[in-house]
Amino acid sequence: MSQGHKKWITGISWEPVHLSAPCCRFVSASKDGDARIWDVAFKKCIICLTGHTLAITCVKWGGDGFIYTGSQDCTIKIWETTQGKLIRELKGHGHWVNSLALSTEYVLRTGAFDHTGKQYSSPEEMKQVALERYNKMRGGAPERLVSGSDDFTMFLWEPAASKHPKNRMTGHQQLVNHVYFSPDGQWIASASFDKSVKLWNGVTGSFVAAFRGHVGPVYQISWSADSRLLLSGSKDSTLKVWDIRTQKLKQDLPGHADEVFAVDWSPDGEKVASGGKDKVLKLWMG
């Protein structure tokens, strides 16, 4: 790919398959304060999204066709993708925005593919099935966005409906490093440097439970495909699996020799992958 960004890249997000199949565009975000839309066919940047005054920390390409960028300038910006125009600015955070998540993220990530392993004969068919899955997941409600910040708080937004947050979510005692909607959109989980993982109602943003057990900052979280289990990785070198129904620790996964930075649950729910400071990738079977 051609050069474009002047500083390191902090995030990448593909255009959802229900908007364009086969996928031919993705957006990248950078510490240089710009986001860039790239076209795979042309192998070059086709639109530059400029307007943030500090580094962009996270980027999401939403199901409605808009791009969301979170920045160290404390704002979240919403962009349209034909000309790269700024549509709306979401303000309220008092410090860096670290993490963004969409209520539709799971269906955006998996597109036409579910646990059945069905194959498709054409990109058009794939696009149609992905659109059906997206619409079913939304159920007529607007796509929701949650943001986590260095100011210890989170905001729940319905960007299509308002520039004002639906709820301000407080309770963490340190910066919020990662936020994530459950695949069914019913829950939000947050990981914080206060060593806790918190669970929130995904529709209202109200607090549900705190999961305590890590003895170091929690860096990243990931949901199981059925939205019943939550995985967290921490500076304390462990992964932990939390049960949403009992709101208790289900499994402790020690084994890394140092801080765990990255965790992800496979979309089929069978496997977990993790990596961190010890330079080792671990695969855990369900």
Token pair in block for residue 55: 């580094």
Q: In percent, how much of the chain has pLDDT > 90?
A: 85
Residues found in the chain: 286
Q: In percent, how much of the chain has pLDDT > 70?
A: 99
Helix (H) or strand (E) holding 130: helix 123-138
Is pLDDT of 3 > 70?
A: no
Is pLDDT of 87 > 80?
A: yes
* Digit-coded pLDDT (tens) for 95-151: 999 999 999 999 999 898 877 778 899 999 999 999 999 999 998 899 999 999 999
Residues contacting 257, CB < 8 A, separation 6+: 237, 278, 280
For residues 124 and 158, give the distance between their C-alpha atoms in angstroms, rounded to a whole number. Answer: 29
Higher pLDDT, 253 or 102: 102
Is pLDDT of 286 > 80?
A: no
| pLDDT band per the 50, 70, 90 thresholds, residue 1 | very low
| pLDDT band per the 50, 70, 90 thresholds, residue 270 | confident
* Digit-coded pLDDT (tens) for 178-215: 999 999 999 999 999 999 999 999 999 999 999 999 99
Report the pLDDT averaged over residues 260-286: 89
Decide: 149 and 169 in contact? Cβ < 8 Å.
Answer: no
Q: What is the mean pLDDT of the chain?
A: 94
Q: Which of 265, 268, 237, 267 is nearest to 253 (CA)?
A: 237
Report the pLDDT averaged over residues 236-263: 92
- Does residue 11 sit in helix, strand or coil? strand
